[in-house]
Chains A and B, each alone.
Chain A
Amino acid sequence: DAKTTQPPSMDCAEGRAANLPCNHSTISGNEYVYWYRQIHSQGPQYIIHGLKNNETNEMASLIITEDRKSSTLILPHATLRDTAVYYCIAPGYSSASKIIFGSGTRLSIRP
């Protein structure tokens, strides 16, 4: 499992794009990058994942650098409900792979 590094906290104005960075310089060629978030007192929620190409879904976009050593999660129009802890995870690709949560980035959306 690749180690990931994220800033401990960020804030963003409501309605603006929130860009959350993640470094995963030890990631191997077959390891995906996953993003989850945990809104206060709830279970973690899957957001998006990718391998090499940029990905977009109804929640967010994921931009992965060409060397795959870092990625950015983009919430295009942040709302107050996006206030949460965001986790970047590279769980590995073996049968014993596991989703290991680091300390994540606490994103605060200000009105």
Chain B
Amino acid sequence: DTAVSQTPKYLVTQMGNDKSIKCEQNLGHDTMYWYKQDSKKFLKIMFSYNNKELIINETVPNRFSPKSPDKAHLNLHINSLELGDSAVYFCASSQGSLNTEAFFGQGTRLTVV
């Protein structure tokens, strides 16, 4: 069983479209994250949820809206996609938000054309 799974693995879409990336973890963790890795390979945190509550929002544009229906899921919805949104998006989870290791998904490569 994959601990943190993301779908889809690849996503190609046109500018202006709305798309969602789903993330599920089966580790029983309380905290989930979204990270963005751009073409320069920098990994930047976007959001963090703890028990379905948003605890970190790193000045991400309003077009990005995370949703956590339960603590095992953290989905990322992106409106009005732009070329600059092209990146690899990683979901992660950890048990609590203090000093615990995080487990990452395999990533979703989003390409906006």
Q: Which residues of A line the B interface, CB within 8 A?
A: 32, 34, 38, 41-46, 49, 85, 91, 93-101, 103
Number of A-B contacts (CB under 8 A): 54
Q: Is the interface of B mostly helix, strand, loop or mixed?
A: strand
Indicate if the CB atoms of B99 and A97 lie closer than 8 Å: yes
3 nearest CB pairs, A to B: A43-B104, A101-B43, A46-B101
- Judge whether B105 is part of the interface by a CB distance below 8 angstroms: yes
Q: Which residues of B line the A interface, CB within 8 A?
A: 4, 33, 35, 41-45, 48, 50, 55-56, 90, 92, 97-99, 101-107
Could you list some 10 contacts between A and B, CB below 8 A? A43-B90, A43-B92, A45-B104, A91-B99, A95-B97, A95-B98, A96-B55, A99-B45, A99-B102, A101-B42
Indicate if the CB atoms of A95 and B101 lie closer than 8 Å: no
Indicate if the CB atoms of B106 and A97 lie closer than 8 Å: no
A43 and B97 in contact, given A85-B41, A101-B42 (Cβ under 8 angstroms)? no
Indicate if the CB atoms of B107 and A42 lie closer than 8 Å: yes
Indicate if the CB atoms of B45 and A100 lie closer than 8 Å: yes
The residue on A at minimum CB distance from B48 is A98
A44 and B104 in contact, given A98-B45, A98-B56, A101-B42 (Cβ under 8 angstroms)? yes
Hey, which chain B residues are within 8 Å of A85, CB to CB?
A: 41
